[in-house]
Amino acid sequence: MMPPSEVVNRGRAVENPAPAGQGRVLSFGPFRLSPTELVLLENDHPVRVGHRALDILLALVERAGDLVSKQELIARAWPRTFVDESNLKVHVAALRKALRDGQGDLRYIVNIPGRGYKFVAQVRILEETDAPRPAGAALPPGNLPAQLGSVVGRSDQVETIVRLLSEARLVTVVGPGGIGKTTAAVAAAERLLARFPDGVWFVDLAPVTDPALVPTALATVLGRPVRSTMPTPELITSLADKAILIVLDNCEHLVAAAAGLAEALVRDTGAAVLATSREPLRAGGERVVRLPPLAMPDRSDGLTAAAALAYPAVRVFVERAIATRDTFTFTDAEAPLVAAICRRLDGIALAIEMAAGCVDSLGLADIARLLDDRFHLLTRGRRTALARHQTLEAALDWSYGLLPAPERLLFRRLGVFAGWFTTTAAEAVLAGDETRPLCVAEAIASLASKSLVVVDVAGETARYRLLDSTRAYALEKLAEAGELAAVKRAHAEHCRDLFTAAARDWNLQPTAIWRATWQPLTDDLRAALDWACGPDGDVALAVALTVAAVPLWLELSLLEECRVRVDRALVSLEQAGAAESPEAMRLYTALAWSQMYTSTRARDTNAMWARALALAEAFGDVDHQLRALWGLWADSKNRGRFRDAAAIAGRFSALAKATGQMSDVLVGERMIGDSLHFLGEQDAARQHIERMLETYRAPRHRSDQVRFQFDQIVTARMTLSRVLWLQGRPDQALRMAAETVAAAEALDHPLSLCNLLAQAACPIALLVGDLDAARRWTALLVSLTTRDALHGWRTYATCFEGDALLQSGDLPGGIARLQAGVETLRKATFVQYLTCFLGQLAAGLCRADRLDEARAVIDEALTRCEATDEAWCVAELMRIKGEIAGRDPADTSAADWFARSLDVARAQKALAWELRTATSLVAHAQRRTGDSGRGSERGAAFASAVSTLRAVLARLPDDTSTADLTAARGVLEGVDTRARRT
């Protein structure tokens, strides 16, 4: 191993630094910067800053000691893109904070006014092989925000939080606004990453105004769908076995709802909860950590700079002052003034940062004097010291008063943004005559330097937001200025325009990119809708925004939120006499779509699809006609109306052919094939499905999953695998099911995977008798349906569990599970395959000699089939009816039922049912004839049954091995053995 090169920079450029980009690492202080990987490490741990900031840092470090112009840095970080100089200023400030520039004697980046920046620290070049690799590279999942810079003065509290979370699973960090609760909580959570393999998840509740949306906010962060008005039980179930830490930030305005959720999580799951609030949650088992003010000197007399920097409050001020004005120096002369400022601000971190942000325009003496004047005015006549919760407001008043008028206007109007925003968004919302002279980007950068705006430079574009305290203050000032309604309207109109573009791009952009672009705007969407639907809002704007927002709700599986918002918009349209409009058409479609899997159904889903279809036909909107026809078809199947479903599939296909859109034509082929399968026409069903699969090409960006709910190839192969099993090709069927499960898992589309597991993979494994595969796929279905609250398919899983128990010999357990599942399906409108499950239950009851119950259940199944034209499983139900009759000595109808079953199976070319019935027929005839099987009419019937079974077996592949084939061959071996004995 070669020793590191000891090239040291002492205020001049490193000798030949550029080649360090190839196999070299640049080292300074506790940091190492890899040019090849563009990774910054501090003490071997990754520092989370954006790649543009790292580009800037690399440009400076490579030319350490030399001036690098602003133009050069902008060209390096934003090649071929014009950006305002303020972007550079924001990224440099973020870098300084990440490097803790100015802490103690550490200095890294200095500004040469009007010209550029210079890297002034010593730099060494190390060989890549000598540079340690990042520690903890494989971090658990999560969304913990990056913590730029050090956590000053909170090490004791962070240690306490970490310790308490190992003793109790609910800890709340409490303190007044701006004290640093979020900073401490995130620092503690970072320390705990390795303890929670299922992730550390950060939920910012500041933008949430409705207590009912607290669990929804958590579900959204976790990527869980919300399908009911009370999602907490679904969340609890999905997190039951997870080692997870949930950080609930800014709980004070939603204390009761946050407390209820936290209690439920800690009581019923393995999750731990770390909350921040201005007051305790008062939840069961809660441990509270109160953040004191940052420590500061008690007095200023004789205080030196070195002594003052021992206090965290002073360190925060000095670091922020240097980040704001890199020529700031902290000497013994400044120490008393800074200490006095920190005392005046009660050691509140945010207030101190705001004061330090003014050093670029005010001297320390002016800051101290103006603060004293402001606080004296606010506390005049009081006999007690200023309460800390008032200190931040006073500091905000003071900082706001110091802003130039254009920046004051911008700051208060930025309060309309509920979440992160960009300079582009700010310009769109704040556009007006009075803002035209203002450079918004430069003003936002200035506000960020004063700690009035938070910056995130980790992505492609810098993002900004106001903290909860500063946003509330900004909105108050906006209302005082009489601008609240106008700015809220502008914000809502901007959101409408944004989400209209999002809806247009939904079918054009890759799903991951689309989600990453639009999901962060969820809080602003809610805020805009709340205003538009409120007493001072605009109904037309609310409707347009709701229509545009539908893709986001569906993509994020916020189905209950979609249902509620869309239903409200429809009521508004109906009250306004605009129920016959394109907007209504889109809303009816969204309402029906969202209601298909939500537990609360305020309107009839079938009626909603029918209404959407009527409007689509009236407006000539073919796309929505196809969506509505698909919805009516799916709803008819779900309700067991299979003849209706076939007719609707035909209408869909005819319309698709008229449009000439081949992908839609092939979707129609699949729908017809699926309908024919249920109606018992297996040959025709297979032809339609195979024709579709031969030429269908999946859309690039899930457009058919968007329009028709499922991945079409997965769904087609699902039906084909069932047909293959019925036609006597069990090995092909099981292999296709397994391959399609693997493909569906790779798609990351839970609806398609659940549909496949419930309707093909699990039932085919059970039909074949592969109990290992059946249990494995059923467990996967349980996991998915529990996580995503897909109640109908969860009930299917219960029935599959019961069937597996029956096949393994546990009759009581299997019957109980099947009875539970069947009873749930009886009460639901989602009744596909209920007849099949009834048949399995009847068969289990028959084997348990509970014949009266078995007879009632099988008769219910046959009656349902007759009423709904569900023919695909009638042969099997008739066979089970024969088995029940054969167990009753007084019932002589068994042979007739077996004969009818064989007729139906042959007519449908369902060789699998034919094999089962022929096997049952031989066993029944043998019981009736006796061991010899010779002589009399019964002997002839027995011989005919044996001949029938042999003929069926002859039509099956020799290498096939299933439970049914094993049973059939075993029966014939027994017949042959007894024949040899006699």
- How far apart (Å, rounded) are the C-alpha atoms in residues 86 and 763? 62
- How far apart (Å, rounded) are the C-alpha atoms in residues 71 and 88? 10
- How far apart (Å, rounded) are the C-alpha atoms in residues 497 and 226? 25
**Is 50 exceeded by the pLDDT of residue 16?**
no
Are residues 190 and 281 both part of a single domain? yes
Please give the pLDDT value at position 930: 62
Question: Do the domain assignments include residue 380?
Answer: yes
Please give the pLDDT value at position 877: 97
**Is 60 exceeded by the pLDDT of residue 130?**
no
Mean pLDDT value across residues 44-48: 75
Q: Which residues contact 826 (CB under 8 A, 6 or more apart)?
A: 834
- How far apart (Å, rounded) are the C-alpha atoms in residues 722 and 759? 8
Q: What is the 3 state secondary structure string of 859-925?
A: HHHHHHHHHHCCCCCHHHHHHHHHHHHHHCCCCCCHHHHHHHHHHHHHHHCCHHHHHHHHHHHHHHH
Q: Which residues contact 152 (CB under 8 A, 6 or more apart)?
A: 294, 312, 315, 316, 319, 349
Q: Are 421 and 463 a contacting pair, CB within 8 Å?
A: yes
Of residues 672 and 603, more confidently modeled = 672
From the list 666, 608, 667, 677, the residue with the least C-alpha distance to 637 is: 677
Question: Do the domain assignments include residue 278?
Answer: yes
Residue 124 phi, psi dihedral angles, 5° rounding: -115, 150
- How far apart (Å, rounded) are the C-alpha atoms in residues 189 and 196? 10
> Directed axis angle between helix 539-555 and helix 582-595, to 10°?
40
Give the domain CATH number at 189. 3.40.50.300
**Is 70 exceeded by the pLDDT of residue 147?**
no
From the list 170, 163, 189, 162, the residue with the least C-alpha distance to 260 is: 170
Q: Which two tokens stand for residue 593?
A: 């779509």
- How far apart (Å, rounded) are the C-alpha atoms in residues 484 and 478? 5
Are residues 160 and 285 both part of a single domain? yes
Please give the pLDDT value at position 704: 45
At 971, the pLDDT band (50, 70, 90 cuts) reads confident
- Give 162-195 pLDDT, tens digit per residue: 999 988 899 999 988 888 899 999 999 988 988 8
At 469, the pLDDT band (50, 70, 90 cuts) reads confident
How many domains does one find in the chain? 4
- How far apart (Å, rounded) are the C-alpha atoms in residues 654 and 661? 11
**Is 90 exceeded by the pLDDT of residue 754?**
no
Q: What is the 3 state secondary structure string of 35-50?
A: CCCCEEEECCEECCCC
Q: In what order do the strands lie in the sheet with 124-127?
A: 45-46, 39-42, 31-34, 24-28, 124-127
Burial class (CB in 10 A: 0-12, 13-18, 19+), 212: middle
Please give the pLDDT value at position 385: 38
- How far apart (Å, rounded) are the C-alpha atoms in residues 725 and 693? 18
- How far apart (Å, rounded) are the C-alpha atoms in residues 287 and 281? 10
Burial class (CB in 10 A: 0-12, 13-18, 19+), 502: buried
Q: Which two tokens stand for residue 6?
A: 């000891």
- How far apart (Å, rounded) are the C-alpha atoms in residues 311 and 295? 6
The partner residues of 177 in beta bridges, in order of sequence, read: none
Question: Do the domain assignments include residue 531?
Answer: no
Please give the pLDDT value at position 706: 53
Are residues 196 and 107 both part of a single domain? no
- How far apart (Å, rounded) are the C-alpha atoms in residues 281 and 275? 8
**Is 60 exceeded by the pLDDT of residue 510?**
yes
- How far apart (Å, rounded) are the C-alpha atoms in residues 915 and 728? 9
**Is 90 exceeded by the pLDDT of residue 478?**
yes
Residues, the chain, total? 982
**Is 90 exceeded by the pLDDT of residue 719?**
yes
Of residues 135 and 4, more confidently modeled = 135
Are residues 365 and 278 both part of a single domain? no
Please give the pLDDT value at position 5: 34
CA-to-CA separations, 659 to 223, 586, 623, 656, in angstroms, rounded: 37, 20, 10, 5
Are residues 164 and 259 both part of a single domain? yes
Domain containing residue 114: 18-130
Q: What is the 3 state secondary structure string of 255-275?
A: HHHHHHHHHHHHHHCCCEEEE
Of residues 97 and 598, more confidently modeled = 97
pTM: 0.76
**Is 80 exceeded by the pLDDT of residue 437?**
no
- Find tokens 């006796």 and name the residue: 930
Residue 273 phi, psi dihedral angles, 5° rounding: -125, 130
Give percent of the chain above pLDDT 70.
88
Give the domain CATH number at 678. 1.25.40.10
At 380, the pLDDT band (50, 70, 90 cuts) reads very low
Q: Which two tokens stand for residue 306?
A: 């070195």
Of residues 777 and 428, more confidently modeled = 777
At 463, the pLDDT band (50, 70, 90 cuts) reads confident
Q: Which residues contact 63 (CB under 8 A, 6 or more apart)?
A: 13, 17, 119
- How far apart (Å, rounded) are the C-alpha atoms in residues 84 and 424? 12
Question: Do the domain assignments include residue 461?
Answer: no
- Give 511-527 pLDDT, tens digit per residue: 778 888 898 899 999 99
Mean pLDDT value across residues 348-357: 87
Give percent of the chain above pLDDT 90.
41
Are residues 187 and 73 both part of a single domain? no
Please give the pLDDT value at position 10: 36
Are residues 101 and 167 both part of a single domain? no
Mean pLDDT value across residues 579-599: 84
- How far apart (Å, rounded) are the C-alpha atoms in residues 870 and 834? 11
- Find tokens 């992908």 and name the residue: 663
- How far apart (Å, rounded) are the C-alpha atoms in residues 79 and 309? 41
Q: Are 165 and 272 a contacting pair, CB within 8 Å?
A: yes
Please give the pLDDT value at position 137: 45
**Secondary structure E strands in 353-503:** 454-456, 463-465
Please give the pLDDT value at position 699: 60
- Span of 339-343, 620-624, 749-753, 786-790 with lowest mean pLDDT: 786-790
- How far apart (Å, rounded) are the C-alpha atoms in residues 596 and 227? 10
**Is 80 exceeded by the pLDDT of residue 338?**
yes
Please give the pLDDT value at position 938: 67
Mean pLDDT value across residues 201-213: 90
- Find tokens 């026809």 and name the residue: 629
Are residues 160 and 183 both part of a single domain? yes
Query: Last residue of some domain: 647, 663, 697?
Result: 697
Q: Which two tokens stand for residue 554?
A: 């569906």
Average pLDDT value over all residues in the chain: 85
- How far apart (Å, rounded) are the C-alpha atoms in residues 915 and 524? 61
Please give the pLDDT value at position 698: 64
**Is 80 exceeded by the pLDDT of residue 2?**
no
Are residues 285 and 311 both part of a single domain? no
Q: How far apart are the first and last CA of the chain?
A: 87
- How far apart (Å, rounded) are the C-alpha atoms in residues 326 and 96? 10
Give the domain CATH number at 109. 1.10.10.10
- Give 674-705 pLDDT, tens digit per residue: 999 999 999 999 999 999 999 887 665 544 45
**For 801, what's the count of Cα atoms within 13 Å in the CB-facing half-sphere?**
19
Report the largest interatomic distance among the alpha carbons of the chain, rounded to a whole angstrom: 123
Query: Last residue of some domain: 665, 697, 729?
Result: 697
From the list 922, 895, 916, 918, the residue with the least C-alpha distance to 976 is: 922
Mean pLDDT value across residues 913-933: 82
- Find tokens 């209408």 and name the residue: 651
Question: Do the domain assignments include residue 693?
Answer: yes
Alpha-carbon Rg for the chain in angstroms: 35
Please give the pLDDT value at position 830: 65
Q: Are 456 and 463 a contacting pair, CB within 8 Å?
A: yes
Could you give the 3-state DSSP secondary structure of residue 646? helix
Are residues 170 and 286 both part of a single domain? yes
**For 642, what's the count of Cα atoms within 13 Å in the CB-facing half-sphere?**
23
Question: Do the domain assignments include residue 3?
Answer: no
| Helix/strand/coil percentages in the chain, nearest 5 | 65, 5, 30
Q: Are 89 and 443 a contacting pair, CB within 8 Å?
A: no
Of residues 543 and 97, more confidently modeled = 543
- Give 779-838 pLDDT, tens digit per residue: 999 888 765 555 667 889 999 999 999 999 999 999 999 999 999 888 876 667 889 999
Are residues 275 and 167 both part of a single domain? yes
**Is 90 exceeded by the pLDDT of residue 3?**
no
At 565, the pLDDT band (50, 70, 90 cuts) reads very high
Q: Which residues contact 230 (CB under 8 A, 6 or more apart)?
A: none
Are residues 233 and 351 both part of a single domain? no
At 12, the pLDDT band (50, 70, 90 cuts) reads very low
Q: Are 942 and 927 a contacting pair, CB within 8 Å?
A: no
Residue 873 phi, psi dihedral angles, 5° rounding: -115, 10
At 7, the pLDDT band (50, 70, 90 cuts) reads very low
- How far apart (Å, rounded) are the C-alpha atoms in residues 767 and 784? 22
| 495: DSSP letter | H
**Is 90 exceeded by the pLDDT of residue 235?**
no
Which one-letter amino acid corresponds to residue 876? E
At 381, the pLDDT band (50, 70, 90 cuts) reads very low
Burial class (CB in 10 A: 0-12, 13-18, 19+), 690: middle
Exposure string (b/e) for 515-540, b if CB count within 10 Å is 16 or more?
eeebeebbbbbbbbbbbbbeeebbee
Question: Do the domain assignments include residue 964?
Answer: no
Question: Do the domain assignments include residue 144?
Answer: no
Query: Last residue of some domain: 380, 402, 424?
Result: 402
Q: Which residues contact 878 (CB under 8 A, 6 or more apart)?
A: 862, 897, 898, 900, 901, 904, 917
**Is 70 exceeded by the pLDDT of residue 379?**
no
